[in-house]
Chain A
């Protein structure tokens, strides 16, 4: 990775993490939506600096959609049933997870695997789905998303009719 891409990577990472902290900590839904859009922008920059421009464009569109949903007027506040003690335990667990992941990232590296694909040739299957027929795989993912959205809409209409 050359210097220009490295600078872009670090700047985008900073934007991403600032946005992520905003999503986790900001009090109002409008601010959280803006922070989520900011993190989507940073994520797109990270993907672009990692030579994944298409993934960056899709991620930016998806996270902008998430930001609109979070900041939109349909948002409803629902109080969780978990007490403050359990939330604090969860926050400590997140800190421990960060420590474990940071340690594994520091020690992480590629290994030379000798896996040949098993009895049904999983390697060829993965290459077929994610390299050769990648557009078809994306189309199936989009179809699944539309099916979920359509199912949710139909469910709501049926509930309203009752």
Chain B
């Protein structure tokens, strides 16, 4: 059994699509904001997969670091979105 770049891309695109579906389908804005990390996770998986299977020599940290940045950005966006939604909900 093995897994290649295409399998990684399939998982990434499925994760992005589930995130987009949740954001479009949810009536509650706060619940829709919770799907943002899923879209970012899909992008991060694609970056990490490209870094893992890149053919050129040397260490491939670029994709992994983009994945880390996307995870941190996902936290920031969820915090911002839920904070704004909390303000609107208190009114």
Chain A residues packing against B (C-beta within 8 Å): 1-3, 5-7, 9-10, 13, 16-17, 20-21, 23-25, 29, 32, 36, 39-40, 43, 46-47, 49-52, 54-55, 58-59, 62-63, 65-66, 69-70, 74-80, 87, 89-91, 93-95, 97-98, 101-102, 104-106, 108-110, 126-127, 130-131, 134, 137-138, 141-142, 144-145, 148-149, 152, 156, 159
Contact = CB atoms under 8 A, between A and B. Distances in A.
Interface residues on B, range: 35 or more
B68 A54 contact: yes
Contacts of B72: 58, 62, 141-142, 145
Given A23-B35, A75-B82, A77-B31, 6 more contacts: A7-B1, A32-B31, A46-B11, A52-B67, A95-B17, A138-B69
8 contacts: A47-B67, A58-B68, A74-B86, A78-B85, A90-B20, A91-B21, A91-B25, A156-B83
Contact of B4 (A1, A17, A39): A1
A78 B1 contact: no
B15 A16 contact: yes
A16 B87 CA distance: 31
Most A CB contacts (10 A, CB to CB) among B12, B68, B83 go to B68
Q: What is the interface of chain B mostly: helix, strand, loop, or mixed?
A: helix
Contacts of A97: 16-17, 20
Contacts of B26: 24, 80, 87
B40 to A, nearest CB: 9
Given A58-B71, A95-B17, A108-B6, A138 B32 contact: no
A24 B22 CA distance: 4
A66 B34 contact: yes
A73 to B, nearest CB: 11
A58 B41 CA distance: 12
